[in-house]
Amino acid sequence: MTSAARRFAVVIVVAAASTAPFAVAQRQPATVPTRIPIEITSNHIIVKGRVNASRLLSFVLDTGASAAIMRMDVARELGLSLQGSVTGRGAGAGMQAGAHVKDATWSLDGLDRFSQPMALALPMPAMSSSLGREIDGVVGGEFIRQFVVELDYQQRSLTLHDRSTFTYGGTGEIVPIEFNNDGHPVVRATLTPVSRPPIAGRFLLDIGSGLALALHGPFVAEQHLPGPETKTIPAVGLAGIGGRSMGRLGRVTALQIGSFRVDDPIALFSEDNAGALADRSVQGNIGAQIVKRFRMFLDYSRRRIILERSSAFALPFDRAFTGIAMGAEGADYRTFRVREVLENSPATEAGIVEGDIITSIDGKPADTFTLSEISELFETATAFRVTVRRGDQTVTVTLTPRRLI
């Protein structure tokens, strides 16, 4: 369907090592604070860096990852030493088999004299296709906790502050955090389901998820969510580290973090009974569609985050849906294939079927867009003239996204 489901592909990465702990030696940066430009693709933060003396690589910045993780095929291409075995888990019930990376460090482009160990390699075969661009790995908690990390989605920047000397003098609100067994940040928040009283809970702060809110399977089952008053649709195209993930998309009345109330966000009501979204220690994950409404400071050493309202804070969650789950293929990720179609959706009404390749939108060749741009375009309730290639045929249809939940 939905770009929301597609964006969920990276979600949480948790690495479980079967041998010794990761090394933590690193070189410190020459000066901080340092402002680093970031790219934002389907609500995911992308930073640039190198491994040893490699070409420039692209990494997802993810609070749901602990150690630095490299895509297995890229690690092999770079000739890195891979030893032992690890398993990676995320959304979905399956696991990925990987390896420890030895004697390799990664550095952040724009931050002089800084490096950290590259700890793991996992296959992560769907990541680049799901985001529509080359993604070489994931960096997370080990990096974040070396600094106070200021994230500004509106300015597309992160600023790294010296954690030992940082003082905050702004007008934002300090929110305490704790850390789960995997070292991922957890905040206390209050969820208000539709036509139900508020529920206080613990939520993983997960900037590596492109969703607004993902409620975990055990919590959904225990609370009998979403409830008959909540309109939902199946979440198509949901895939994570562990393979396919099941659930429905709907809305909750509100999520409150500290004094900040986010109204009417779209939530995934997970149906998973295994994998990251079946974790009983938290009620759910707060993803980038909520986080990007703030300017946020990640201050792990003081066990806190600081939230400031951004200009996007009050924007409604009013996106339209097509009913299409797409993936990007080809060397340049500019071939857009329909991987799944939601029944009784604008896509089925238009006659789009699984396997169609989108070749143009309103007369403009599809390969002039990125996958993220097409997804954002299709979130508007506007009629589009879409041409698809279906085997040897070329078919032109009218696709009109609309609000389904």
User: What are the DSSP calls for 327-369, one per residue?
Assistant: EEETTTT-EEEEEEE-TTSHHHHHT--TT-EEEEETTEEGGGS
What are phi and psi for residue 87, nearest 5 degrees?
-125, 145
**Among 201, 161, 203, 200, CA closest to 184:** 203
In the block, residue with structure tokens 């680093």: 36
Domain at 329, CATH number: 2.30.42.10
Residue 136 placed within a domain: yes
148, 192: one domain: no
The domain boundary, picked from 108, 127, 162, lies at 162
Output the CA–CA distances (angstroms, integers) from residue 131 to 11, 81, 327, 331, in the order listed: 12, 27, 8, 14
Residues for the chain: how many in total?
405
What's the whole-model pTM score? 0.91
316 within some domain:
no
Same domain, 74 and 129: yes
User: Residue 314 falls within a domain, yes or no?
Assistant: no
CA distances from 271 to 32, 231, 274 (A): 44, 16, 9
User: Does residue 204 lie in a domain region?
Assistant: yes
Quick one: pLDDT at residue 238? 75
User: Residues 10, 62: contact at Cβ < 8 Å?
Assistant: yes
Which pair of structure tokens corresponds to residue 248? 């429905």
Q: Is residue 404 part of a domain?
A: no
The CA-atom distances, in angstroms, between 67 and each of 61, 118, 236, 241 are 11, 8, 30, 15
Q: Which of 114, 132, 162 is the last residue of a domain?
A: 162
* pLDDT at residue 11, as a whole number: 38
Residue 58 belongs to a domain:
yes
Is-contact 151 269, C-beta < 8 A?
no
- For 189, half-sphere exposure in the C-beta direction (CA atoms, 13 angstrom radius) is 24
Query: Is 348 in the same domain as 372?
Result: yes
Residues 6+ away with beta carbon under 8 Å from 344: none
Distance separating alpha carbons of residues 212 and 291, to the nearest angstrom: 8
Query: For tokens 């296959």, what's the residue?
Result: 123
Say how far apart CA 299 and CA 202 lie, in whole Å: 18
Q: Are residues 226 and 157 in the same domain?
A: no
Q: What are phi and psi of 267, to 5 degrees?
A: -125, 145
Q: Are residues 293 and 199 located together in one domain of the fold?
A: yes
Q: Give me the phi and psi of 72, to 5 degrees please.
A: -60, -45
Q: How far apart are CA 261 and CA 365, in angstroms?
A: 41
Question: Based on the domain organization, do 64 and 134 belong to the same domain?
Answer: yes
299 and 238, same structural domain? yes
Residue 168: inside a domain, yes or no? no
Question: Which CA distances in Å does 122 have to 15, 144, 181, 230, 332?
Answer: 9, 21, 21, 38, 22
For residues 252 and 389, membership in a common domain is answered with no
The reply to whether omega before 401 is within 30° of 0 (cis) is: no
The pLDDT tens digits along the chain (405 residues) read: 444 334 433 333 433 343 333 344 456 565 679 999 999 999 999 999 999 989 999 999 999 999 999 999 999 999 999 999 888 766 655 678 899 999 999 999 999 999 999 999 999 988 999 999 999 999 999 999 999 999 999 999 999 999 999 999 999 999 999 999 999 999 999 999 999 999 999 999 999 999 999 999 999 999 999 999 999 999 987 766 656 779 999 999 999 999 999 999 999 999 999 888 999 999 999 999 999 999 999 999 999 999 999 999 999 999 999 999 999 999 999 999 999 999 999 999 999 999 999 999 999 999 999 999 999 999 999 999 999 999 999 999 999 999 999
Residues 285 and 259 in one domain: yes
User: How far is CA 40 from each of CA 61, 207, 243, 295, rounded to the nearest angstrom?
Assistant: 10, 11, 24, 15
Same-domain check for residues 158 and 180: no
Count of alpha carbons within 13 angstroms of residue 143, beta-carbon side: 31
> What does 281-293 look like in DSSP terms, one character per residue?
TSSEEE-HHHHTT
Two tokens at 281? 């220690």
Answer with the one of 244, 275, 309 that is the final residue of a domain.
Answer: 309
Residues 13 and 152 placed together within one structural domain of the fold: yes
Beta bridge partners, 91, equal none
Q: How many domains does the chain divide into?
A: 3
Whose CA is closest to 84, among 15, 17, 13, 138?
17
Which CATH number goes with the domain that contains 265?
A: 2.40.70.10
Is the same domain home to 269 and 330? no
Scan for tokens 């996204």, then name that residue: 401
Q: Which domain does 385 fall in, by range? A: 324-399
Strand-by-strand arrangement of the 147-152 sheet? 34-37, 157-162, 147-152, 294-299, 304-309, 173-176
At 264 the three-state DSSP class reads coil
Tokens of 10: 């990276």
- 167, part of any domain: no
Q: Is there a cis peptide before residue 33, judged by omega within 30 degrees of 0?
A: yes
